[in-house]
Structure 1
Amino acid sequence: MIKMLVFDVDGTLYDLNRHEIPRSCQEAIAKAKRSGLIFVIATGRTHYGLGAALNALEPDYILAVNGAVVADGRGRILAHHDLSLAQVERVNAFCRSHQAGLAWKFLDHCYIYQSPEKIDWLQPQKESDIGPEPFIDCPAQDRHQTALPQSASVHADPEKVEEVFHDDPELAFLRYSADGYDVVA
């Protein structure tokens, strides 16, 4: 029988008030690993945005961008689930028509397509002591033409999101703040 521990990052492993992974957490995870348990980080963050603080925990696996990317403990990608071009275009069109904040999460970087000032996690993530994610401004909004993303972060009026994507059979809008959503297949 395989036994594993699966933990979220923000507010679970990482104390957002003290800006640290408590020593007691680090010790408990190390002890569990020594006893043969597999340690997995599950997060909405990207696999490359976990940083030195979480790398110190030495996870066996990382389930990133809400499960769309599976990586080993060294950050090597084992599997990923890309959005389709049609799904990306639908989200892009929605965000353009509603002046929504939009950042796409690709295997290599986060690409900011529009209205970064509306993305409530953007500046804190750039300055994060967990580990800043690499961001690329992409005003041409064309990165998805050469590779497909695994997830989007959308900041839009919740009523508009509900109106357009309610019961959508292909896309899930996972709310993480008053107007912020992770968008996955």
Structure 2
Amino acid sequence: MEDVTIDEPHHDIKAVFFDIDGTLTSFVTHTVPASTVEAIHRLQAGGIKVFICTGRAPSQMNVVLDTMPVTFDGIVAFNGQYCFDNTGFFASQAIDTGDIRIIINWLAAHPEVVCNFGEKDYVYFNHSNDRLQATWKKLGKTAPTRYFDDPMPRAITHETFQISPFIAAEQEAELVGLCSNIRGVRWHPDFTDLIPADGGKPRGIQRFMKHYGIAREQTMAFGDGGNDTDMLAFAGIGVAMGNATAEPKAAADYITDDVDHDGVLNALLHWGVLKD
């Protein structure tokens, strides 16, 4: 078995939360850098818990996680709306069916819009177009399998945790304004993730904080997209990747190198959570 360096804890960090796309995985190589895997092993060897905190659905993660020799201590999925671990802990918040009906009616009036609907074990699109195909191509081998279905009535009769229409910011504002408890978080310019207005990645982190008795100042988070902005502002130490967009960089306590240049490891060394 490979020896793992055990680092003395610093800053009293007890839990580190990682986004997936653009944080763990590279948009260039579509893989997780070896330095990141090493860093996570060292965190765990030092008694620090590591979590996934992503906009992806549980069923869309294995295409990435199966390539990593890491067992995470917990998963925050759907931008905070679905949290679980291997010990039986579970907490979730689905979208209100009244808002789902409003969104579906809006989509019916805009039939050209491609939209993704996220359930626990099933994520599907209402239809496809060139825009969706181009977006999926950019994800490379980390792109999950696409399924297609009719959201009416399925999205009403099955718990739906996230709805992701491929719309511009102006259309997003219009649609959110029609709903009673919805906000959009965006990690990709082509689409927005619609979630409960009182949800988000910080809510998911709080669920695990309460479960494990971890204080806010004992948390650290890594992200790169707009949907990571609140998480980086909330965490005790928020780290934006060098390849991050402007919003998460502005919210972060520190901007590290990009994912392809050991950004995760370098930030952990910078803050003394790991040592050279």
TM-score normalised to the size of structure 1? 0.84
Matched, 1:103 2:116: yes
Matched, 1:48 2:69: no
Report the 3-state secondary structure (helix = DSSP H, G, I; strand = E; otherwise coil) of the residue aligned with 2:76.
Answer: strand
Structure 1 residues 167 and 36 mapped into 2: Cα distance closer, same or farther (>3 Å)? farther
Structure 1 residues 140 and 110 mapped into 2: Cα distance closer, same or farther (>3 Å)? closer
Please give the alpha-carbon distance, in whole angstroms, between the structure 2 residues aligned to 1:6 and 1:157. 29
Q: Quick check: which one's strand share is greater?
A: 1
Residue 167 (structure 1) shift: 9.2
Matched, 1:86 2:92: no
Please give the alpha-carbon distance, in whole angstroms, between the structure 2 residues aligned to 1:42 and 1:175. 14
Residue of structure 2 equivalent to 1:15: 26
CA contact (8 A) 2:57 2:118 kept: yes
**Which segments of 5 or more consecutive residues in structure 2 lack a partner in the other structure?**
1-11, 197-276
Residue of structure 1 equivalent to 2:162: 151
Counterpart amino acid of 1:49? Q
Structural RMSD (CA)? 2.7
Residue of structure 2 equivalent to 1:112: 125
Structure 1 residues 131 and 83 mapped into 2: Cα distance closer, same or farther (>3 Å)? same
Moved more, 86-95 or 45-54: 45-54
Please give the alpha-carbon distance, in whole angstroms, between the structure 2 residues aligned to 1:131 and 1:117. 16
Counterpart amino acid of 1:31? R
CA contact (8 A) 1:103 1:153 kept: yes
Residue 123 (structure 1) shift: 3.2
- Please give the residue correspondences for 1:35-74 in structure 2 after superposition, counting only pairs within 5 Å: 35-51=46-62, 53-55=64-66, 56-72=69-85
Please give the alpha-carbon distance, in whole angstroms, between the structure 2 residues aligned to 1:34 and 1:142. 47
Report the 3-state secondary structure (helix = DSSP H, G, I; strand = E; otherwise coil) of the residue aligned with 1:104.
Answer: strand
Please give the alpha-carbon distance, in whole angstroms, between the structure 2 residues aligned to 1:160 and 1:52. 31
- The superposition leaves residues 152-182 of structure 1 with CA deviations (integer Å, 9 ceiling, x where unpaired) of 1111243222234249651011123334100
Counterpart amino acid of 1:156? I
Report the 3-state secondary structure (helix = DSSP H, G, I; strand = E; otherwise coil) of the residue aligned with 2:126.
Answer: strand
**Over alpha carbons, which structure has the higher Rg?**
2
TM-score normalised to the size of structure 2? 0.58
Report which structure shows greater RCO (CA 8 Å, sep ≥6).
2
Number of aligned pairs? Answer: 182
**Which segments of 5 or more consecutive residues in structure 1 lack a partner in the other structure?**
none
Report the 3-state secondary structure (helix = DSSP H, G, I; strand = E; otherwise coil) of the residue aligned with 1:58.
Answer: coil
Counterpart amino acid of 1:87? D
Residue 131 (structure 1) shift: 6.3
